[in-house]
A and B are shown apart, each in its own frame.
Chain A
Amino acid sequence: MTTVEQQGTSLWQDAWIKLSKNYLALFGLVIIGLLCVLSVLTPWIAPYGYEEQNLLLGATSPSSEHWLGTDVFGRDMLTRIMYGGRVSLTVGFIATAVALLIGVLWGAVAGYVGGRLDAMMMRIVDIMYALPFMIFIVLLMVVFGRNILLLFIAIGAVEWLTMARIVRGQVMSLRKQEFVEAAHSLGLSQWTIIRRHIIPNTLGPVIVYTTLTIPSVMLLEAFLSFLGLGIQPPQSSWGLLINYGVETMEEYPWLLIFPGVTLSLTLFALNFLGDGLRDALDPRVSKD
């Protein structure tokens, strides 16, 4: 007797199916993907050079030559936004990656080892929570200049705390799950258990939180830009472009509208994607 072997669908596949039914989240995914590709390709596909200015031209509204208009230097806005996107997305992704790395490790170790070490590590997190980080970031930026690397570290240092808490909570509850106990009773080594049974099951919330951290990091960068502490010109970021745009929004509205729309779209997309992922990865939300 032969039975046809049925291919099962994993929770990931399940999540994907759920996600693909959520049009908003899918839209978010597409936008993010598109933006990432554009950013990578910017140096080759940008219509103009980055610092190419035309002082005589000045600020012009959108035209067939400059699709999104030009800024007061006569620089092409489309090009500026594309390059700004590279910076903004890099800040978003790298700072989040820093937060992710520290947060996941810290939380996983604290949650899995438990006991005194856990208490100590979490106390440190509590203490860090009470530090006025916004103030420190401002101070750091003032003191050490507008260093993009420092920006990553500073933002990453703020955001990892929540990540660590989330991961710790996950690991703690996983540690008590019967399947982990079953793995113990099979005699699997600690490392095998962490690798095969714990980490794959913490990924859901971590991914969700990551997609929600990226927009908040990008906003933080924009906020620093407003204080004149963000990215250093001539590099630019969406935050910086918006900040310039705000100042001239009555005279040259397109300088605000286009970067504003781009940033908002990105933040929307990331939020939609994050929400969608949260629903998709939540086993309590059924497929239907």
Chain B
Amino acid sequence: MFRFAFYRLLQAIPVLFIVISLTFMLVHSAPGGPFSADKAVPPEVIKALEAQYNLDQPLWQQYVSYVGDVLQGDFGPSFKYPGRDVTELIAAGLPATAELALYAMLVALVIGVSAGVAAAMRPNTAQDYIPMSAAMIGICMPSFLLGPLLVLIFGIHLEWLPVSGWGDIPGDKILPAITLGTGYAAYIARLSRGGMLEVLSQDYIRTARAKGLSEPVVVAKHALRGGLIPVIAFLGPAFAGLLGGSFVVETVFQIPGLGRFYVQAAFNRDYTMILGTTVFFSTLIIIFNLLSDMLAIWLNPKLRQQTQGASL
């Protein structure tokens, strides 16, 4: 397992390198500079600023020194927010984004798995059709539509929940988490239904029943593990999607997260911020893909022993 993780992390090095290079190329080929403004900027100022941020050096030199800095864990200063380090900005935005992603994932898993399992236990009945139709709606509903709808209903009309903010007013995390989580809940519901149906038709489930085990034990102990493997495999990509999808939810609910930072940085040509956030997101995605793969392996004894083979 550790060996597997090690190789995967080794593989992450070229990935991150590609990410850095590609992003670097992209941001520097973008028209418009970080210091242009609607009021004319005197050339002296531009010169002073470019010197300050090393932008007067040849591009390759900037690239080399940037990669060097990143290797030392330094993402450099932000261009847009003078005096703020990219690391500092990421640290400021990360808690909200991470928390949001976590809650959304929780919502997605709780709702998705329970709906999917319930549906799979009685296929082609109301217990199947109702949650699955709901899942279909969930998949088809873009979050920038769902978010404002929920706000309108629960925030403005019913006045149950705050319409925006993050950690300012009790309950203000509920609507964003639901908004972001719903699409994934729907997808997970379909995945777990499929997985459970597949597993429930296996011979070993019949064996378990023939042993006189009660239905809850059969489902929870014998079926869930195999049935949720597709869900677990989906967790990594889902996390990547949650990070990406958080842009929208953060904007709708005014959440001080990384996603908003990122989009702003892209619009403002905040080179270091774009690069830093991209590298950071990539790292997170790699780590979560790895974790979900490791979880899938750990749950499957055969794979578990294969990957341990070397160390035994």
Contacts and interface: CB of A to CB of B under 8 A. Distances in A.
Is chain B in direct contact with chain A in the complex (CB below 8 A)? yes
B19 A131 contact: yes
A271 B139 contact: yes
A3 B289 CA distance: 61
B82 to A, nearest CB: 22
A208 to B, nearest CB: 13
Given A142-B266, A143-B29, A249-B148, A132 B244 contact: yes
Interface in B136-150: 136-137, 139-145, 148-149
B140 A267 contact: yes
B120 to A, nearest CB: 15
B244 A136 contact: no
B15 A130 contact: yes
Contact of A268 (B140, B152, B245, B285): B140
Contact of A264 (B15, B19, B141, B274): B141
B267 interface: yes
Q: Which has the most chain A C-beta neighbours within 10 Å: B18, B139, B152, B248?
A: B139
Contacts of A140: 26
Interface string A271-283: 1100000000000
B262 A135 contact: yes
Q: Is the interface of B mostly helix, strand, loop or mixed?
A: helix
B144 A223 contact: yes
Contacts of A135: 244, 262, 277-278, 281-282
Contacts of B245: 134, 223
Contacts of A142: 30, 266-267
Interface string A219-232: 10011001100000
Contacts of B148: 246, 249
Interface residues of A, number: 37
Nearest to B32: A143
Contacts of B307: none
Interface string B228-270: 0000000001001101110110010000000000110011000
A131 B140 contact: no
B263 A227 contact: yes
B162 to A, nearest CB: 18
Interface string A124-158: 00110111111110111011100000000000000
B233 to A, nearest CB: 12
A243 interface: yes
A279 to B, nearest CB: 12
Contacts of A126: 11
B140 A226 contact: no
A84 interface: no
B23 interface: yes
Contacts of A143: 26-27, 29-31, 266
Nearest to A267: B140
Q: Which has the most chain B C-beta neighbours within 10 Å: A130, A138, A143?
A: A130
B90 to A, nearest CB: 13
Nearest to A247: B148
A250 B251 CA distance: 19
Nearest to B240: A132
B84 to A, nearest CB: 20
B263 A138 contact: yes
A69 interface: no
Interface in B190-212: none
Given A139-B278, A267-B139, A130 B286 contact: yes
Interface of B: 11-12, 14-15, 18-19, 22-23, 26-27, 29-31, 136-137, 139-145, 148-149, 152, 237, 240-241, 243-245, 247-248, 251, 262-263, 266-267, 274, 277-278, 281-282, 285-286, 289
Task: In the A-B complex, list the 6 residue pairs whose CB atoms are closest, starting with the nearest.
Answer: A134-B244, A267-B140, A143-B30, A226-B144, A142-B266, A132-B281
18 contacts: A127-B15, A130-B286, A131-B18, A132-B278, A134-B240, A134-B243, A134-B244, A136-B22, A136-B278, A138-B262, A219-B140, A219-B142, A223-B144, A226-B142, A226-B248, A226-B251, A246-B148, A271-B136
Given A123-B11, A142-B266, A223-B245, 18 more contacts: A130-B289, A131-B18, A132-B240, A132-B282, A134-B240, A135-B244, A135-B277, A136-B22, A136-B23, A139-B274, A144-B30, A242-B142, A242-B144, A246-B145, A256-B145, A267-B139, A267-B140, A271-B140
